[in-house]
Structure 1
């Protein structure tokens, strides 16, 4: 295969690191754009990867660094707004600017990470901004071969979901859980990365939007219970009603590190599940959450005990 130059925005993050590793292993020449080069030092040893500092919100800086690329992958997203970055800036304006630059530079391939249940009428700013970004890209479908992926929550080593709740479960005797009946269909980060890789040069995926979801649907409560099983600990879960869920999120917005926001609660008002299996064209069979969690949530000793427990339960 002739090496092709792929530029990845958000390539140093949780999902980006998995995508970049697969691109590197496949022989692509990858340029990772990051605000701080030091944050991508875990990618320095990959032979086909270079890391470039760039403010991707700066039109001229982004235009300059994208020159010569054959394809662009945008994985940048935020879960919480701040005084510095808004959902609209990151999820709408950036993809719109990126698409314009690709069209101007003659870059014909662009893959975008959106979110499952993104919609212009969605209850949260997060989901509405993701939908606006999709619309901005699709407006240039006649000039760029675009593929959009819309995943449910993504789990794996280094994620900010299962690992966060595993930590909270270890620390707290009781878990006060907002929106305990909200539904998710988690998908493994390695499966997501494979979808990006397999679609890159597959012309059948051009102009398509795909929902990415794992093989099983869980309520929020069931997800925490699954994490507890892996950790071999028991904690009481007290589900909060809508009013208390919003009240808890409001208090958390004042913490130095945001764990939850009212907009997150609004996102959970729509179930993050898909009606469709992963399409055959992506050539990915999604892995089960139960099979992957023990690989990174517990140490070897605890993992052995968990495996024995599962074997006994199966009998």
Structure 2
């Protein structure tokens, strides 16, 4: 059994679920993070070691990967910054990781990409993801490489469903970029299960997997589902491509980046799978509606009131 797993990007949304499953499966897990405080929720897991390290310093990264049986790379960004651009994070970094796995004789590498990654993609994000995939696969004759390309991922700590839920509650009208863009939302726990199940599954070696949920939905349908879940209705003003690009150009200049011009370009391609979930991953995708009500309702005033009322009713009934 491959016991020692090092996870890059493990303190994030997807990483937290992956690490919890690795821990449950009995792997010895090392999480590399810039700030140990960001991964404090993982420290209490019995088989997890959280190490503060600068993964962009080649010598430090090599030292931390030494002795690993498996490396899982979850590093990715949706918005570029002056220090961390798509080329650096999605292409050059995965290449360096694969090179180090080869040098250190680490046999197994799992790499997180993105659905519709393509060298001819309409956005820099998708093109950089494709470049990273190609760079990693160059080592597939020396390493057991598996690449995962998920659609948009949802879950308790996501920055997608939660973001729209908060936005809906504060704006009178929702100006929505690319309302007819298609997605196949997948639950974070299903993504984590697919990755962990593949660690020692030889049938996954050298393959690239698309990960999507059971339903294909437009962005507007997703937003309407969120509205129905939190019991808050807002008019939706759908923007055409030109207006969507203008909105992206404006919003990418804000201190908190919710949308960029490059994000809009990514949505020009339907974010849906071309094939069903592979049998060797042993995952049956979970319906989005069965999950989001569990975490969205608790995070809005109406839901909090309903929960309080239900709890009060249980107390009263218990006293009778």
CA contact (8 A) 1:165 1:224 kept: yes
CA drift at 1:244: 1.0
Q: CA deviation at 1:3?
A: 6.7
- Counterpart CA distance in 2 for 1:234 and 1:195 is 35
The SS at the match of 1:41 is helix
Q: How far did 1:275 drift?
A: 2.1
Provide the rounded CA distance (Å) in 2 between the counterparts of 1:74 and 1:3.
16
Task: Determine the C-alpha separation between the residues in 2 that align with 1:140 and 1:251.
Answer: 40
**Distance in 1 between the 2:109 and 2:35 partners?**
23
In structure 1, the residue matched to 2:26 is 27
Written as runs of structure 1 = structure 2, the 5 A alignment for 1:164-179 is 164-179=163-178
CA distance in 1, matches of 2:28, 2:266: 36
Aligned equivalent of 2:225: 226
In structure 2, the residue corresponding to 1:31 is in which secondary structure?
strand
Please list the CA deviations of residues 229-278 of structure 1 after superposition, one character each: whole Å capped at 9, or x if unmatched. 10011110000111111111111111111000000000000010012111
- Equivalent residue for 2:116? 117
Q: 5 Å matches for 1:152-171?
A: 152-171=151-170
1:85 and 2:84 are equivalent in the alignment: yes
Task: State the shift of 1:52 in Å.
Answer: 0.8
* Structure 1 range deviating more: 3-12 or 107-116: 3-12
1:303 Cα offset (Å): 8.7
- d(CA) in 2 for partners of 1:192, 1:62: 25
Unaligned residue ranges in structure 1 (runs of 5+): 307-315
| Contact map agreement 1:3 1:29 (CA 8 A) in 2 | no
After TM superposition, the structure 1 = structure 2 runs for residues 66-85 of structure 1, keeping only pairs within 5 Å, are 66-85=65-84
Q: Deviations over 1:282-313 (max 9, x none)?
A: 1100000111011110129839979xxxxxxx
What is the CA–CA distance in structure 1 between the aligned matches of 2:286 and 2:2, rounded to whole Å?
A: 30
Ranges of 4+ aligned residues in structure 1 off by more than 6 Å? 303-306
Where does residue 135 of structure 2 map in the other structure?
A: 136
Two-structure CA RMSD over aligned residues (Å): 1.5
Is 1:16 matched with 2:48?
no
Aligned to 1:313: none
Q: How many residues align?
A: 305
Larger mean Cα displacement after TM superposition, 66-75 or 249-258: 249-258
**SS at the partner of 1:150?**
strand
Per the TM alignment, residue 55 of structure 1 is displaced from its structure 2 partner at its CA by: 1.4
Look up the match of 1:269: 268
Q: So what's the TM-score if we normalise by structure 2?
A: 0.93
- The answer as to 2:225 corresponding to 1:243 is no
* 1:89-114 deviation digits (Å, cap 9, x = unpaired): 00000000000000000001000000
DSSP-derived class of the 2:23 partner? helix
Deviation string 1:200-255 (CA, Å, 9 cap, x unpaired) is 00000000100000000010100000000100111100001111111111111111
